[in-house]
Structure 1
């Protein structure tokens, strides 16, 4: 299977998601967005649901890679932690900003991709807890949970990128003690 063609299918799926949402998108819509026949799309995905699951997986995997990259930098812990949080926030802002429909891909209760969202958040929680533990924080798991809650609260706030920086700069040093 060509990764480029699968990527094209997932890009077309995202385009349809922004226009119609998950429920209203059809395989014909995805095919039309690609400029191919519906049967050509079926060579890369089993169904519309499969296309959306793979799309959600791709977006969350990319955000997790950015978070891991931030965690692995050779900079102070507070900067690394803020970078992990920024990866989650950027994914949310991308999805919320592109269309009202795209936020569906962040819904941990969604039938199609709830487990992807939950796994993503759990991976971030573990990454953050490891950073806090490595830095010598008293309760690394609780600190990670507070940070996840912070980002979740900022997802719909105006100027959330700026607020994340300020909030992390105020919060993380206290959690690292």
Structure 2
């Protein structure tokens, strides 16, 4: 029951954030959205900042679960596994920025409240991608961690592109093909 109520608090927090944003959302807003008293909300979160952090942690963890699942699926070709990791990040960004301009605040890695969550998320994705490139090898002169960073840069660039979801597959396929160990070494020209 406790987890269900916490989920309800976080769902109400998300609903409020879509309407008011992080700064304008209050504990009263969250309680009203849930149809409970403010003191009932305090049974599950310490304050609004705690509710927002827990919400962000939940959203980022759900995306990480999808990324880990994609990375671990050895039945798929390497490019599909990499794309699955990148899709988890892109989907999180597009969903949050698509629901409301306010929910995009949950993506602000410079925000005091969320910077460690955002940084940790990207670090986890980098670790997954580095592992994938370590497993398959990379082109001459490219270390697995560099390949991971290049892939993350790609998806970050797509986050603001029109038709980002449609561009991810061809962009990641081309990028991964160039980063794989069987790719030709770059010429000196």
Query: Under TM normalisation by the shorter chain, which class is it?
Result: over 0.9
Equivalent residues, number: 177
Superposition pairs for residues 74-93 of structure 1, below 5 Å? 74-93=75-94
CA distance in 1, matches of 2:84, 2:32: 38
Aligned counterpart, 2:137: 136
Superposition pairs for residues 162-173 of structure 1, below 5 Å? 162-173=166-177
CA distance in 2, matches of 1:171, 1:127: 17
Aligned counterpart, 1:127: 128
- CA drift of 1:118 comes to 0.3
Computing the radius of gyration from Cα coordinates, the structure with the larger value is: 2
1:81-106 Cα deviation digits (max 9, x unpaired): 00000000000000000000111111
Q: Which moved more, 1:69-78 or 1:9-18?
A: 69-78
Superposition pairs for residues 69-108 of structure 1, below 5 Å? 69-73=69-73, 74-108=75-109
> TM-score normalized by structure 2?
0.92
CA distance in 2, matches of 1:6, 1:72: 30
Superposition pairs for residues 43-82 of structure 1, below 5 Å? 43-73=43-73, 74-82=75-83
CA distance in 2, matches of 1:43, 1:148: 38
Aligned counterpart, 2:38: 38
Aligned partner (choices 151, 155, 180) of residue 151 of structure 1: 155
- CA drift of 1:41 comes to 0.2
CA distance in 2, matches of 1:76, 1:139: 20
Structure 2 stretches of 5 or more lacking a match?
Answer: 182-189
Q: Which runs of 4+ in 1 moved over 3 A?
A: none
For the aligned residue pairs, the C-alpha RMSD in angstroms reads: 0.8
Structure 1 stretches of 5 or more lacking a match?
Answer: none
CA distance in 1, matches of 2:25, 2:51: 11
CA distance in 1, matches of 2:147, 2:21: 35
> TM-score normalized by structure 1?
0.98
CA distance in 2, matches of 1:91, 1:55: 13
CA distance in 2, matches of 1:120, 1:38: 31
